[in-house]
Structures are given as structure tokens and as C-alpha cells.
């Protein structure tokens, strides 16, 4: 029983109880050192006798060893790795260093993300036998990759019967961010509970001493116990006036250090090796301790003094602060000797990575041999997807490098790895440190890439543009191909920043410098000018330039994932959502198979856009949600989140969900003009559906007239319709002409249908009907966009009704109603119902606007679609980054909603959007 922890124990009990019922949950227990986090984990273990228990801990000395914490948690079950799906097994094997990923079949940069899925699957498999409790103490010291994999799994736990409890220190320790996982904060004990605890543990001490301990402990349970021990051993001097009091954390450390100092020197050496090792293997610790003259008896003495425990070949400090006290208070020369002895031990055991780190820690001056060993360790970590470790190893190797050029090269390599790990501030700092040391052309290119990418991800594309320009100017004569590459990206960044003068200047520079690949830079600038209706461009030239860029990119099956994403985006700009969807679905399949997580959320965002255009709104929401979820795992940035957020905002606008639409707009980062302009256009669409036509004109007119017209191209038809309805058709003349040019030169039938609809709105009655009929014919061609077709039918029906042709009007209105109901466009349903009533026909009573698939959640919809193709739960889990158990749970919930009772019946249902 824990004194004063009733609410915390209740929270733990609730999680364990739900796990026994097949539900999962996770919790981060937070608080200062000694506050009782570990005790709460022990309480959980004591209440889970019927459950399988896995224990892990973060070890400060292993914080730069990738997947060390995860290995400690799962080491008893490593034989189960081969039972995982192939990609997951390969990723986890690579993560633990058992093998290297096949670069042909597996994206090693994504090992850490697929490892998270492998952990989820393994935990779910273990829970199949009985509920599972995972206890991870000192989570703040976990290596980056282990923390990432465990949190990835924790966020996806749902119906496996798994509980994960992390304990993380809040002060005097690194942060342990765990978005998506609930926190449980452990506060100091109140006065009554603290007094009761001290009475139980130290009732033999005089009352005034106990009072001093109560005063100095500040309700910290560990301080209460350790200060009492210190008093008994003569290390605590009574201080009734509280003079010179230290913070609780420091007092506990000092107390432990004093207890260690009282031990024989050989015992101090033995536990110093243990504190330095960063590994719990008592065999390694004893072998190394013997090099310093210590023996097994010395470890036994430390165990008798209740400082360490040894069980089954594993040595563990009774509390993490003991480890810290042992290491921090040891003299520098003894710490150095411990590191050198451990390096020798690990060399004999073939562990080159740990050997390199211990040598590096023991070395205070430049040493190229050790720096090279650390660089080799960094590259080994890279093959395991451990970019945080790569950055740490290269940074340490840099400062051990005798030559300035080598130091600069390694600092820049560390910066690039930090960028890959999403550590933007660290990447910037390392890049800055490399500036005066690494000045060759490749160094300038790499430095510019890091700086520009961090600026873009922070939402400062104009800063990124200037970085690309400056770097291109510095190397244009030496490496013209690199300069062309930089100017191309400079144009992209300037476009995103809506600085069109900078776009033009970038293209001019490519010509002035006579760059061999200036045509690519010039083509990109032509796209910007023509698509945004600038005087120096034209729509026909912009379309031609995009097609030129696509041709220059090479064959589709030879493109890198990043290049393929760019092609998909260009196809969407050209209005060809059918070809874009076909290409991006193949790309997503490749990403899922290879674990290319860096590209996957971007690809999913573009797929959601194609699904939106195809009228598959529920699919689009599910896909966009998955894109945002994975982006959150990688580290959210505007490049990954902008498209899925805009898709969800557009769907909310179509459905008339004002609160959701405004929420998405407000939550979007204000750093990118592109994002804000697109989202402002979504608010215009919302106003359009709700009949707020004057608001539409006021909102969209300045946007369409601005320099970045392409960003609001999708809502130009809204401005035209609203202008006609407010009695100001002249406002829509120029936009109609421009949209017509887009339709003509892209050759997309849906766009021609919309352009003809806009012309019909502006035409007199003598010409309007022919234009409406031509528009509907265009909408029926390949590549239709159902929402746009339904809007045309609604407007044509309104025109027919106004011209007293009620029977003809009903045909168009009924067709529009079917589409609006299917996609849940409530405001448009209301408008159509009003028009039908005006024709003398009441809408059919009891119309089911929701439909069969509307009963499913977005995730249930994804699961049943995949299940209907014959995929197993395990296969589906691999696709959607869920455990097989959670997949089964979603199917169990979906079956009654669909009126089926088995997987086989799903194949007979129409599950298309």
C-alpha cells in the first residue's frame, strides 16, 4: 500500500482492469526524482500477478546507443522476431543490429518507424496469451529510437489488452515528450502522509530529527527514507534553522554520494564500472571491474548496502540517482580508467560501437583514430535508421578530429543527421559550427540544404529561398549542376512564399550564369507565372512547362519516392486527379512495403486530395487523418500537414460544418501564405453552401485578383456564382475567362464542365441552356468530379424552374440530390430540397442521407475495405500501422453496422465510395 497515493493507484487499477477486458491503454507517470514514480510502477506490477510483465529502463550512459532501451524491454522474446511480418521483422532485426536492411527492398532511413509497428505487433502477439503490462522506468533516459518506437506503439494501442506505463522525471533530466499519451503527475506527499511514512520507516529517530527530515524532504518519499538512513550513518547534521538547504534532488544525490564514499575503494571501483557501463550485464561489469582490481565480493558488498541488486546476470541500481551519484562524484581520473577498461572489454566482445563511445568519452584531446571509429559507429547507426545517434556520434567525432577540414565535414554530417531526426535547432547549430571549417563546393551545397530545409519546415520559405540563392551564387562557376538544383528549389520556395519577383529573378540568374540545366529553373518559373495569371506568363505556357518538367523527370518506374510525389502534385495542378491517384496509390504501396515513412504522409495527403475530387469524402477524411497521424510520429511540419488539413477543411466546408472548418483554419500554422490562402478559400466555399453570397464575394474577390491566383483556382466558380447572385455579374467576367483558359489548356473534361457552367451563369436566357447542357455532357466524361457535376445540375435545375419548366427541373434536381446525399453535403441538400419543393415535389420522406458506409468511422471504413480484398488482420495492420488485434476489434464493431456477420460477407457488399 502506498501512502497518500490513492488517486494514482486508482488510475493504475483502472488501466489494469480494462486490460483484462481486452482494452489497452498507456500512461506517462511524471514527477521529480524520488517522488514515487518507480514505486507506482512496482504497485502496478504487484497488482498484475495474472498478467505477463515486461520491464525496461532508460539508462543515461546508453542514451546514444540506438534501440538499447527497446532491446532491454524485449530481450526475453527476441526469438519471436521471425514470427513478425517480413518488413517488420527486417526492421526490428536491423534495429537490434542482427542484420543490415537490404537497400533494394527496404528504406533503412525508416527502420525506426517500421520498428514501432513491429513493437506494436509483438506486444499484441504477447497479449494474445494473457494481458500484458510493460513498465518502462526512467523513460527520460531512453535512447531516441526506443522512445520513438514505444510511443508509436502506445499511441496505437486499442484492443490488445496491453498496458504501457512510462515513468519520466520532470526536473534535472531531459524532456520526455509523449504527445498522444495521457500524463499522470505525481505530487509531493501531503504533511500527514509524509509523517506517516517517516514514522513507519524511521520511528526510532528522535522527534526533532524527524521534524528536520520532514522539513527538508518537501514531501518527497525517497528523500524521507534516504535522509533517515543518512542520519543513522552519521551523514546528516541536525540543522534546526534550515541554513544552507539544498534542493531535494541535490540533497538526495549528496546523501547517496556520502554512502558510496564510505565503502572500500575496491567496492567503489566496482560500482563505478557499473555506473559507467551503460549496460546491465553483470558479466561485462565484473570482467571490467577485475581490470581495476575489484572482485565479485565487492559487488556483493554493494548489494548488501542496498545500492545495487543482481538477479539472473542483470545488475540494476536500486534507484537511478544512485547511478548518477556514483558517476558524478567519482574523480575524473577514475572515471577515465573505467571508460578505458570498458572499451577494452567491449573490444574483446566484438562490440565496436560501445568500444568507440567509451574511448571517445575517456579522451579529452584530438585523436583521429578514435574519431574514425566513432564515424564508423555513426554509419552503422545510420543503417539502423538511428539518425539521432548518427548526429551524436558525428558531433563527438568532429571535436576529436585533429584537422579542421575533417572536423567541419563531420559537423556537417552531424547536422544532416539531426535534420533527418527532426532536431531542427540542433541541425542549425551544427551547421553554423561547420561554416569556417568546411568550405568546398559539396560543403556549401550540404549546408544550404540543411539551412533551407529547416527554414521551410519552420514555415519560412522566403528565408529558405534566400539560402538557396546565396549558396547557388557561391558555387555557380565551380559546380553548375549543383547551382541549377539550388535555383530550382529557390523558385519553389519563392512560390510558396508568394514572392513572385523572387521567382522571376531566380530564373534570370540561371540564364545569366549560363547553367547547363537552366531550362528546369526557367520551366518552374513559367509554371508560377502562367498558373498565377501574371502578365509575363500564360496558362498555355504554364501547362506546357509542367509537362516539360514531367518529361525531364524520367520514367515513372525509375523515379525516387520524392520525385514521384512531385509528379503527383503536378498532375493535380493539371487537374488530372485520375492519373494522380493511380500513381500515388502505387507510391503508397511502395512506401508501406519499404517503410518509407518520410514520403508516406505526403503521398497520403495527395491521395486524400484525389479522393476528395472523386467524391469519396469518407475515404478522403480517413486518408488525410492517417497522413496527419503519421506526420505526428515523424515530427509535424508544414510540408507534411498542409495538404491533408486543406482537404479536411474543404470537406468540412462542403458538409456545412462551420465549427470544424474554422477550427482547421485557425489551427493551421500562419507561417505559409499558401496554406492560409487555400484555407481562406475553404471558408469561402463554406459561405457559399450556407448562402452567404456577399461574404463569398468579399472574401474571394481580393484573393482571385491577387498575385497567387492559382492557390484559389478551385473556388473561382464560387466567386462567379456568388457575384451573379448578388447582382454583380461583372465581378465574374475576368475569372470566368481565366478559368476557361485553364480548362482549355489542361484538357480536363470536369474543368470544361465547370467553365461552361460559369459561362451559363453569366449568359442571357437565350444562350444559358445550351451552355448548361454542354457543361453536363462534359461532366459525364472520364475523370468526373461528382460534387462539381451536382452543382451544375442544381444550377441548371434552378434555371429550369425559374423558366417554369418544373418537370425538366426535377430531373436535374433529383440527380443533384443523390450526389449531395452520398457525400453528406448538408447545406447543398437543403438548397436542393428547397428547389424541389418550388417545383411542386416534396423530397422523399425518410431519405437516408448517411448511407451504409456513413455508419462506419473512417478507420473502420479503411479496415473493412482491406478485409474485403482478402487481406488477413496482420496484413491490414501492416498497411494501417495498427495491431492485428485492433484490426479485429474494428471489424467486430463494423459487422453489425453493415448487417454482416463474417469477413466473407464483406466481399459481396458494395464498399465503394
The better pLDDT of the pair 532, 36 is held by: 36
- Whole-angstrom CA distances from 389 to 88, 357, 360 are 21, 11, 14
C-alpha cell at 866: 482491406
Q: Where are the alpha helices (DSSP H) in 480-538?
A: 480-496, 500-512, 518-531
In a domain, 529, yes or no: no
Same domain for 161 and 47? yes
Domain boundary among 259, 282, 309: 259
- Whole-angstrom CA distances from 815 to 12, 718, 756 are 55, 21, 19
Other C-beta atoms closer than 10 Å to the C-beta of 328 total 13
Reported as type and span, the H/E element at residue 696 is helix 693-705
Same domain for 755 and 769? yes
Residue 48 above 80 pLDDT?
yes
φ, ψ for residue 55, nearest 5 deg:
-120, 140
Within its chain, how far is the Cα of 669 from the centroid? 16
User: Could you give the dihedral angle defined by the CA atoms of residues 208, 213, 214 and 219, in that order, rounded to the nearest 10 degrees?
Assistant: 180
Contact 272, 259 (CB under 8 A): no
In whole angstroms, what is the distance from residue 21 CA to residue 783 CA?
48
Same domain for 214 and 168? no
Q: Where are the alpha helices (DSSP H) in 803-883?
A: 806-823, 826-838, 858-868, 873-880
Same domain for 22 and 135? yes
Contact 594, 101 (CB under 8 A): no
Residue 35: is it exposed, middle or buried by C-beta count within 10 angstroms (0-12/13-18/19+)?
buried
The residue to which cell 548488501 is assigned: 304
Query: Can you say whether the dihedral through the CA atoms of 712, 718, 722, 724 is positive or negative?
Result: positive
**Size of the chain in residues:** 913
Q: What's the pTM?
A: 0.75
Same domain for 737 and 829? yes
In whole angstroms, what is the distance from residue 446 CA to residue 482 CA?
10
Contact 794, 813 (CB under 8 A): yes
Contact 860, 893 (CB under 8 A): yes
In a domain, 382, yes or no: no
Residue 102 above 60 pLDDT?
no
Strand-by-strand arrangement of the 52-57 sheet: 52-57, 132-137, 162-169, 25-31, 182-185
In a domain, 579, yes or no: no
Same domain for 292 and 201? no
C-alpha cell at 367: 585523436
* Domain CATH code at residue 117: 3.40.50.300
* Domain CATH code at residue 878: 1.10.10.10
Please give the full DSSP string across 226-275, using - where no structure is assigned: HHHHHHHTT-----TT-TTPPPHHHHHHHHHHHHHHTS-HHHHHHHHHHH
318-369 residue pLDDT tens: 777 788 788 888 999 999 999 999 999 999 999 888 899 899 989 888 999 9
In whole angstroms, what is the distance from residue 452 CA to residue 467 CA?
6
- SS3 of residue 184 by DSSP: strand
Residue 563 above 60 pLDDT?
yes
In a domain, 514, yes or no: no
Contact 521, 507 (CB under 8 A): yes
Same domain for 175 and 283? no
In whole angstroms, what is the distance from residue 905 CA to residue 913 CA?
18
In whole angstroms, what is the distance from residue 716 CA to residue 721 CA?
9
Using alpha carbons, select from 27, 15, 12 the residue that is nearest to residue 151: 27
- Whole-angstrom CA distances from 459 to 188, 452, 454, 642 are 41, 11, 9, 11
Contact 123, 160 (CB under 8 A): yes
In a domain, 442, yes or no: no
What average pLDDT does this structure show over 574-601? 85
168-203 residue pLDDT tens: 998 778 899 998 899 999 998 888 888 888 888 787
In whole angstroms, what is the distance from residue 343 CA to residue 487 CA?
48
Residue 237 above 80 pLDDT?
no
In whole angstroms, what is the distance from residue 265 CA to residue 564 CA?
64
Give me the pLDDT at residue 851, please: 60
* Domain CATH code at residue 301: 1.10.10
Same domain for 197 and 321? no
Residue 238 above 80 pLDDT?
no
Same domain for 255 and 282? no
Same domain for 166 and 201? no
DSSP 8-state code for residue 77: G
C-alpha cell at 552: 525531364
Buried b (16+ CB within 10 A) or exposed e, 20-30: eeebbbbbbbb
- Whole-angstrom CA distances from 661 to 655, 665, 682, 902 are 9, 6, 8, 37
What percentage of the chain has pLDDT greater than the value 90? 46
In a domain, 140, yes or no: yes
Same domain for 203 and 305? no
Residue 243 above 60 pLDDT?
no
Using alpha carbons, select from 244, 338, 160 the residue that is nearest to residue 889: 160
User: Could you give the dihedral angle defined by the CA atoms of residues 190, 192, 197 and 200, in that order, rounded to the nearest 10 degrees?
Assistant: 180
Residue 245 above 60 pLDDT?
no
C-alpha cell at 78: 527476441
In whole angstroms, what is the distance from residue 513 CA to residue 469 CA?
12
In whole angstroms, what is the distance from residue 299 CA to residue 320 CA?
17
DSSP 8-state code for residue 29: E
**Distance linking the first and last C-alpha atoms of the chain:** 55
In a domain, 785, yes or no: yes
User: Could you give the dihedral angle defined by the CA atoms of residues 409, 411, 417 and 420, in that order, rounded to the nearest 10 degrees?
Assistant: -100
Residue 239 above 70 pLDDT?
no
- Strand pairing category for 314-317 and 308-311: antiparallel
Using alpha carbons, select from 902, 884, 892, 883 the residue that is nearest to residue 860: 892
417-459 residue pLDDT tens: 888 777 888 899 999 998 878 777 888 888 899 999 888 877 7
Total domains present in the chain: 5
What domain range includes position 328?
263-357
- SS3 of residue 599 by DSSP: coil
852-901 residue pLDDT tens: 677 888 788 888 888 888 888 888 887 787 888 889 888 988 888 888 88
Give me the pLDDT at residue 594, please: 65
Domain boundary among 185, 216, 241: 185
Give me the pLDDT at residue 246, please: 45
In a domain, 558, yes or no: no
Crossing angle for the helix pair 600-613 and 577-594, to the nearest 10 degrees: 150
Domain boundary among 170, 185, 200: 185
Residue 232 above 80 pLDDT?
no
Reported as type and span, the H/E element at residue 859 is helix 858-868
Using alpha carbons, select from 23, 34, 18, 41 the residue that is nearest to residue 184: 41
Which residues, other chains included, contact 373 with Cβ-Cβ below 8 Å and sequence gap of 6+? 352, 355, 356, 359, 360
* Domain CATH code at residue 768: 1.25.40.10
β-bridge partners, 315 = 310
β-bridge partners, 30 = 168, 185
What percentage of the chain has pLDDT greater than the value 70? 92
Same domain for 92 and 220? no
Amino acid at each position: 500500500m502506498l501512502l497518500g497515493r490513492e488517486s494514482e493507484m486508482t488510475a493504475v487499477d483502472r488501466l489494469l482492469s480494462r486490460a483484462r477486458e481486452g482494452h489497452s491503454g498507456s500512461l506517462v507517470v511524471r514527477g521529480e526524482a524520488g517522488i514515487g514514480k518507480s514505486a507506482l510502477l512496482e504497485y502496478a506490477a504487484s497488482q498484475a500477478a495474472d498478467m505477463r510483465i515486461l520491464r525496461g529502463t532508460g539508462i543515461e550512459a546508453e542514451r546514444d546507443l540506438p534501440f538499447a532501451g527497446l532491446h532491454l524491454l524485449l530481450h526475453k522474446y527476441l526469438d519471436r522476431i521471425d514470427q513478425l511480418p517480413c518488413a517488420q521483422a527486417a526492421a526490428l532485426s536491423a534495429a537490434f543490429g542482427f542484420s543490415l536492411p537490404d537497400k533494394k527492398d527496404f528504406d533503412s532511413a525508416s527502420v525506426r518507424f517500421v520498428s514501432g509497428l513491429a513493437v506494436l505487433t509483438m506486444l499484441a502477439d504477447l497479449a494474445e496469451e494473457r494481458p500484458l503490462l510493460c513498465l518502462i522506468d526512467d523513460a527520460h533516459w531512453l535512447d531516441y529510437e526506443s522512445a520513438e518506437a514505444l510511443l508509436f506503439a502506445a499511441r496505437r494501442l486499442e484492443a490488445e489488452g496491453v498496458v504501457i506505463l512510462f515513468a519520466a522525471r520532470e526536473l534535472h533530466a531531459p524532456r520526455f515528450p509523449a504527445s498522444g499519451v495521457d500524463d499522470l503527475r505525481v505530487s509531493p506527499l501531503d504533511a500527514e502522509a509524509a509523517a506517516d511514512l517517516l514514522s513507519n520507516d524511521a520511528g526510532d529517530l528522535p522527534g526533532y530529527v524527524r521534524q528536520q527530515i520532514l522539513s527538508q524532504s518537501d514531501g518527497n518519499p525517497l528523500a524521507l527514507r534516504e535522509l533517515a538512513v543518512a542520519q543513522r550513518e552519521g551523514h546528516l547534521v541536525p540543522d534546526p534553522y534550515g541554513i544552507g538547504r539544498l534542493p531535494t534532488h541535490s540533497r538526495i544525490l549528496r546523501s547517496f554520494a556520502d554512502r558510496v564514499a564510505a565503502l572500500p575503494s575496491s567496492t567503489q571501483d566496482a560500482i563505478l564500472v557499473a555506473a559507467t557501463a551503460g549496460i546491465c550485464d553483470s558479466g561485462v561489469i565484473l570482467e571490467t571491474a577485475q581490470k581495476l582490481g575489484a572482485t565479485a565480493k565487492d559487488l556483493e558488498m554493494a548489494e548488501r548496502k542496498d545500492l545495487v541488486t543482481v538477479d539472473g546476470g542483470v545488475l540494476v541500481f536500486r534507484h537511478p540517482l544512485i547511478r548518477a551519484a556514483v558517476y558524478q562524484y567519482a574523480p575524473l581520473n577514475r572515471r577515465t580508467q573505467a571508460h578505458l577498461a570498458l572499451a577494452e572489454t567491449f573490444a574483446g566482445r566484438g562490440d565496436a560501437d560501445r568500444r568507440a563511445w567509451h574511448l571517445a568519452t575517456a579522451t579529452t584531446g584530438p585523436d583521429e583514430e578514435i574519431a574514425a571509429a566513432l564515424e564508423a559507429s555513426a554509419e552503422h547507426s545510420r543503417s539502423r535508421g538511428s539518425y539521432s545517434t548518427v548526429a551524436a556520434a558525428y558531433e563527438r567525432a568532429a571535436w576529436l578530429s585533429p584537422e579542421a577540414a575533417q572536423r567541419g565535414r563531420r559537423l556537417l554530417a552531424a547536422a544532416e543527421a539531426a535534420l533527418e531526426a527532426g532536431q531542427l535547432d540542433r541541425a542549425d547549430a551544427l551547421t553554423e559550427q561547420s561554416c569556417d571549417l568546411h568550405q568546398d563546393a559539396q560543403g556549401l551545397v550540404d549546408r544550404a540544404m540543411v539551412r533551407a530545409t529547416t527554414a521551410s519546415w519552420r514555415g519560412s520559405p522566403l528565408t529558405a529561398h534566400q539560402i538557396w540563392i546565396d549558396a547557388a551564387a557561391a558555387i555557380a562557376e565551380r559546380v553548375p549542376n549543383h547551382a541549377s538544383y539550388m535555383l530550382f528549389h529557390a523558385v519553389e520556395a519563392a512560390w510558396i512564399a508568394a514572392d513572385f519577383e523572387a521567382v522571376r529573378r531566380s530564373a534570370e540568374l540561371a540564364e545569366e550564369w549560363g547553367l547547363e540545366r537552366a531550362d528546369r529553373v526557367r520551366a518552374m518559373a513559367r509554371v508560377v507565372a502562367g498558373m498565377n495569371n501574371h502578365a509575363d506568363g500564360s496558362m498555355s505556357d504554364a501547362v506546357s512547362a509542367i509537362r516539360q518538367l514531367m518529361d525531364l523527370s524520367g520514367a515513372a518506374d525509375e523515379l525516387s519516392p520524392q520525385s514521384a510525389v512531385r509528379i503527383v502534385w503536378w498532375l493535380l495542378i493539371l487537374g488530372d486527379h485520375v492519373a494522380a491517384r493511380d500513381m500515388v496509390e502505387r507510391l503508397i504501396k511502395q512506401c508501406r512495403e519499404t517503410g518509407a515513412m518520410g514520403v508516406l504522409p505526403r503521398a497520403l495527403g495527395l491521395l486524400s486530395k484525389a479522393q476528395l475530387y472523386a467524391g469519396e469524402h469518407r475515404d478522403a477524411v480517413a486518408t488525410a487523418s492517417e497522413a496527419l497521424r503519421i506526420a505526428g510520429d515523424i515530427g509535424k511540419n508544414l510540408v507534411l500537414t498542409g495538404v491533408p488539413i486543406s482537404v479536411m477543411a474543404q470537406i468540412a466546408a462542403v458538409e456545412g460544418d462551420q465549427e470544424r472548418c474554422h477550427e482547421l483554419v485557425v489551427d493551421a500554422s500562419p507561417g505559409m501564405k499558401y496554406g492560409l490562402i487555400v484555407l481562406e478559400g475553404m471558408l469561402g466555399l463554406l459561405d457559399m453552401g450556407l448562402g452567404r453570397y456577399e461574404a463569398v464575394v468579399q472574401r474571394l474577390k481580393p484573393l482571385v485578383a491577387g498575385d497567387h491566383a492559382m492557390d484559389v483556382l478551385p473556388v473561382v466558380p464560387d466567386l462567379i456564382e456568388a457575384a451573379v447572385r448578388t447582382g454583380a455579374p461583372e465581378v465574374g467576367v475576368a475569372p470566368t475567362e481565366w478559368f476557361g483558359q485553364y480548362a482549355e489548356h489542361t484538357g480536363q473534361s470536369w474543368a470544361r464542365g465547370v467553365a461552361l457552367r460559369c459561362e451559363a451563369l453569366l449568359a442571357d436566357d437565350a444562350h444559358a441552356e445550351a451552355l448548361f447542357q454542354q457543361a453536363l455532357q462534359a461532366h459525364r466524361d472520364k475523370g468526373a468530379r461528382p460534387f462539381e457535376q451536382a452543382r451544375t445540375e442544381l444550377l441548371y435545375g434552378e434555371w429550369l424552374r425559374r423558366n417554369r419548366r418544373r418537370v425538366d427541373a426535377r430531373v436535374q434536381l433529383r440527380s443533384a440530390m443523390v450526389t449531395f446525399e452520398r457525400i453528406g453535403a448538408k447545406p447543398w441538400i437543403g438548397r436542393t430540397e428547397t428547389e424541389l419543393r418550388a417545383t411542386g415535389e416534396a423530397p422523399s420522406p425518410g431519405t437516408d442521407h448517411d448511407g451504409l458506409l456513413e455508419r462506419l468511422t473512417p478507420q473502420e471504413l479503411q479496415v473493412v475495405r482491406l478485409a474485403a480484398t482478402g487481406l488477413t488482420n496482420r496484413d491490414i495492420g501492416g498497411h494501417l500501422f495498427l495491431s492485428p488485434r485492433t484490426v479485429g476489434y474494428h471489424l467486430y464493431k463494423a459487422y453489425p453496422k453493415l448487417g454482416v456477420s463474417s469477413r466473407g460477407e464483406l466481399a459481396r457488399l458494395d464498399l465503394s465510395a
